[in-house]
Amino acid sequence: MTHQVLMKIRGYGQGLITKNISNSKNNAALINSVSLSRQNDKSGKQGLRVTVDKDIDHISGLIADAFDKEEKENPVKSFR
């Protein structure tokens, strides 16, 4: 069964990620496959790893940049 993934990245001015790829103002993209997993960083702190399907590689950089900037500004992230 296929599920549509709908999520919002907080910070860095990112908009809603939906299946609408025509609206470039909010960096909307079709997310075919997003997986979440927990892993430890070098200091042993547990973090959340987000993996985006390679088919949307041109958008995954925007997503990674948003997470990176959010982490620098707010070390404790919240996901809803």
In this prediction, residues 48-61 reach a mean pLDDT of: 58
User: What's residue 43's pLDDT?
Assistant: 83
**Measuring CA to CA, which residue among 47, 15, 12, 11 is closest to residue 28?**
15
How many angstroms from the chain centroid is the CA of residue 25?
17
Q: Do the Cβ atoms of 14 and 70 come closer than 8 Å?
A: no
57 or 35: whose pLDDT is higher?
Answer: 35
Global pTM reads 0.27
**pLDDT tens-digit series, residues 3-39:** 444 554 444 444 444 444 444 454 444 444 556 667 7
Q: Do the Cβ atoms of 36 and 50 come closer than 8 Å?
A: yes
User: What's residue 26's pLDDT?
Assistant: 47
Structure tokens given for 76: 């404790």
**Measuring CA to CA, which residue among 16, 27, 23 is closest to residue 59?**
27
User: What's residue 2's pLDDT?
Assistant: 45
